[in-house]
Structures are given as C-alpha cells and as structure tokens.
C-alpha cells in the first residue's frame, strides 16, 4: 500500500517544480545583483556612514562654535533694571536717586547677541579626531571584506545549485534504469525465470530512487532560495545555472595570509583607534586654550538696536582634579588598547591556522577527486557487465540492483567531490586575498 502513496507524492512534487518559473542565471549576474541589493552590504555601508559622521563631528576641534540669540525681559529687580538701562545707554542723573535705585519702575529690555567660541589648543580633541578617522577607515575596510565574503558565498551557493542539478540528472537516469530493470523483471517473472521476491526488490529500488529524486529536487529549490536571499529577491523563483559543475584549476604555491587583507588591516586600524583614544585620555590632563567673543545689541523696543557693544578674549582652562574619574578613564583606555593588540595577534594567528587547514582540505579533495573518478569508471563498467548478464538470465537480481545503486552513488560522490575541490579552492583564494 505504500508504493502508490510514494508515487503520488513524487508526481505532486514533480508537477509543483515544473509549475514554478525556471530562470536561467549566470554567476556574474548573481554577483552583480548581490553587490547592488544584498542587505548585509547595505548594513555595512550604513555602519561606514555612521563612522564617517562621527569623524565629521570632530571638525569641532578646529571650527568655531557660533550662536545667535534674541532675549526679551521685563523686570523690577533693582540690579537688572539698572543694568538694562546701562546696556541700553539711557541712564540719566535721576536714575541714581536712591529711591529709584531701590524701587525702580518696570523696565523692558530686548537683547540680540552673537557669540563665537574658537578652539585654539585642544590636544585631547585632536587625538579623539585621529581615533575617529581610524575607525572610519576600519569600517570602510570592513565593508570591502563583507563584499569579498559575499562574492565567496555566491560562488559557493552557485556551485551548490550546480551540484543539486547534477544530482537530479543522475537520479533521473537512475530512475530510468530502475524502471527498465523493473520491466525486465516483470517479463522474467511472467516467464517463470524470477521469483516474486526478486520483482519486489526491483520495485523497492524504484521507490528508493524516486524518494532520492524528490529530495534532490527539493535541494534545487533550497539552493535557488538561498541565491534569492543573497540577492535580496523575494520572488523566490527556481534558478537554473547556465554552466555545469566542472573542475576548476588552481595553483596553491606560495599562498599565505597577507597583513594587507582588508579584515586584518581593519583590525590594525581599530587597534590604532584605541591607541589614539588612550593618548586623548592622557592629554585631557593638559590645559585647553580657547578664544571667545560676542557682539550685543540692546533696546527697550523689540528688534531695535539703539545701543551695542562687543567683548572678546581668550581663556586658558585646566581641570586640575576630577576625583579619580580621569585616572580610571585613562587606565580603561590603556587596557582596551592592550586588548586590541592581543586580539589582532590572535586573529592573524587564527587566520594562519585556518589557511593551513584549508590547504590540507584542498589536498585531500584533490586526492579524493582522483579516487572517485577511478571508482566511477569501475562502477560504470561493473553495471554494464551485470546488466548484460541480467538480460541473458545469468545474473542475480540482487547483484544487479547492488551494481545499479553503487553506480548512482559513485556518480553523486564524484560530483560532490568536484564541489568540495572547487569550494576548497575558492576558500583558499578568499583567505589569501589582499
């Protein structure tokens, strides 16, 4: 009773896959769309924009701070009233009367003020600016490495799609062979050459291949969906690669980790930023020199300017002691700087470890490729011989099924090994990219 159920499921999945739109696509097209639309790249670009905005804020170390204000007051406060009249340049001899000084009438004052503050010497701010610049450059390199990683990921995903289609192709041929063998087995059973158990074994083999083909077609959809995810495409169509999975050539000599690799260089810049922050915290113990000035307009009528005056000067300020806060801050930034140096060293060491592992993986895949090629040829020849003998009634059904299963397995193993071989090459190139 299980066989009709499996057949129904198989045909349902087949029709479902055929009903979907099949879209041919090249790897270069995928790379172009990922570069343009991938969400991870966009996030990385926004992180760079954020770091660049932080750096631009440090322009305040050199540029002046300019403010303008207009203030309106009404007061009977003796001091404020006298000062307002003085600013408006309307004081008379009568205003010095003790009665008027102690109990003035309400006076209105309208003041327009333009202020400017210009930093002259701000050593800690300069190092903070340097730290922000290093962080911005590090984020730029991080964006570059994100693009490199996604290019590698596209290569991997595209090969997975090629491998999935190869598996479908192998299993479709295996299903054709299994159905042909089933037809021969049915004829032999009718003629009395085979037992019912042998026919059932052949039918089981047909069902197994159909299940495997069902899984392979699901893998095609999975691989296509992952490509859609990388391209930020929500249509989720089924893609077909324009070229087949084949062995690529690669020269592994003198491959090594470069300190100019974007992510490693970004970590170095991040360490430089921590060093600059530590220096900024140390420079905060030194005084700051700032220039300042203002121009003021006064009147007892709004937006009038019958009286004016200006003020300018320079200020040398020095925060001598802020409890232990400043010392603790400098110690913390020093620890962060030392930590960043250790993290950089560890990251380079880990990258070299990963490179050595990838080289061994590549050599293993290269050796495995030779062995699977030989095993594929042998299993194909074995299947050919056993199929001919089975047609003549000289071979057991179980032996034929075993040879057929083995040939399909060796084909799938061979294509899987090609994928692993090409993937290990792509990974080595990703690790050693400058």
Residue 144 has pLDDT above 90, yes or no: yes
Residues 6+ apart with CB under 8 A from 102: 78
d(Cα 164, Cα 224) in Å, to the nearest integer?
10
Residue matched to tokens 């050693």: 432
Through-space distance between the first and last CA atoms of the chain, rounded to whole angstroms: 61
**Closest-CA residue to 143 (of 269, 227, 55, 30):** 269
Tokens found for residue 91? 């004081």
Q: How confident is the model at residue 388 (pLDDT cuts 50, 70, 90)?
A: confident
The strand pair at 22-25 and 238-241 is best described as parallel
Lay out the sheet containing 107-121: strands in order across: 65-75, 107-121, 288-299, 307-317
Kindly report the number of other CB atoms within 10 A of residue 422's CB atom: 22
At residue 15, the pLDDT reads 45
Q: State phi, psi for 324 to the nearest 5 degrees.
A: -105, 10
CA 97/CA 77 separation, integer angstroms: 15
**285 CB-near residues (< 8 Å, 6+ apart):** 326
- The mean pLDDT of 324-350, rounded to a whole number, is 93
Q: Judge contact between 141 and 262, C-beta under 8 A.
A: yes
Let me know: does 123 contact 286? Beta carbons within 8 Å.
yes
What integer is the mean pLDDT of 286-304? Answer: 89
Output 324 or 281, whichever has higher pLDDT.
281
Q: What is the pLDDT of residues 51-92, one digit of tens each?
A: 999 999 999 999 999 999 999 999 999 999 998 888 888 888
Lowest mean pLDDT among 126-140, 171-185, 243-257, 302-316: 243-257
The helix-helix angle for 123-190 and 196-230 (nearest 10°) equals 160
What percentage of the chain reaches a pLDDT higher than 70? 94
pLDDT for 5 equals 45
Superfamily of domain 2-37+122-284+324-432 in CATH is Outer membrane efflux proteins (OEP) (1.20.1600.10)
Q: What is the 3-state secondary structure (H, E, C) of 74-131?
A: EECCHHHHHHHHHHHCCCCHHHHCHHHHHCCCCEEEEEEEEEEEEEEECHHHHHHHHH
Whether the CB-CB separation of 207 and 3 falls below 8 Å is answered with yes
> What span, in angstroms and rounded, lies between the C-alpha atoms of 337 and 49?
24
Rg of the chain's alpha carbons, rounded to an integer? Answer: 40
Q: Rounded to an integer, what distance in angstroms lies between the CA atom of residue 378 and that of residue 299? A: 105
């Amino acid at each position: 009773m299980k066989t009709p159920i499996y057949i129904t499921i198989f045909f349902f999945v087949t029709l479902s896959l055929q009903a979907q739109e099949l879209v041919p696509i090249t790897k270069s097209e995928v790379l172009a769309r990922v570069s343009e639309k991938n969400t991870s790249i966009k996030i990385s670009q926004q992180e760079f924009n954020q770091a660049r905005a932080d750096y631009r804020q440090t322009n305040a170390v050199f540029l002046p701070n300019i403010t303008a204000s207009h203030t309106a007051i009404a007061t009977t406060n003796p001091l404020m009233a006298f000062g307002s009249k003085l600013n408006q340049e309307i004081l008379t001899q009568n205003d010095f009367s003790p009665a008027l000084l102690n109990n003035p009438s309400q006076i209105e004052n309208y003041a327009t003020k333009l202020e400017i503050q210009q930093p002259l010497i701000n050593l800690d701010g300069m190092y903070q600016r340097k730290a922000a610049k290093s962080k911005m450059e590090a984020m730029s390199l991080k964006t570059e490495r994100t693009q490199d990683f996604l290019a590698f990921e596209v290569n991997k995903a595209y090969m997975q799609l090629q491998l999935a289609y190869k598996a479908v192709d192998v299993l479709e041929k295996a299903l054709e062979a299994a159905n042909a063998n089933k037809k021969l087995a049915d004829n032999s059973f009718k003629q009395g050459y085979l037992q019912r158990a042998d026919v059932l074994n052949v039918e089981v083999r047909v069902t197994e291949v159909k299940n495997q083909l069902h899984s392979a077609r699901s893998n095609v959809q999975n691989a296509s969906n992952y490509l859609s995810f990388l391209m930020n495409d929500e249509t989720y169509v089924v893609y077909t690669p324009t070229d087949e999975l084949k062995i690529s050539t690669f020269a592994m000599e003198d491959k090594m980790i470069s300190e100019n690799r974007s992510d490693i260089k970004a970590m170095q810049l991040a360490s430089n930023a921590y060093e600059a922050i530590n220096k900024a915290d140390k420079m905060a113990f030194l005084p700051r020199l700032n220039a300042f000035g203002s121009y003021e307009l006064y009147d007892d009528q709004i937006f009038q300017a019958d009286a004016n005056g200006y003020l300018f000067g320079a200020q040398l300020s020095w925060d001598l002691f802020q409890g232990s806060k400043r010392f603790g801050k400098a110690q913390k930034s020093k620890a962060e700087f030392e930590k960043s140096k250790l993290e950089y060293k560890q990251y380079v060491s880990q990258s070299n470890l990963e490179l050595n592992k990838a080289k061994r993986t590549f050599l293993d895949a290269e050796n495995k490729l030779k062995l699977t090629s030989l095993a594929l040829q042998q299993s194909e020849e074995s299947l050919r011989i056993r199929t001919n003998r089975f047609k003549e009634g000289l071979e057991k059904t179980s032996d034929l099924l075993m040879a057929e299963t083995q040939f399909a397995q060796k084909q799938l193993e061979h294509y899987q090994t090609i994928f692993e071989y090409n993937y290990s090459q792509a990974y080595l190139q990703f690790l050693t990219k400058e």
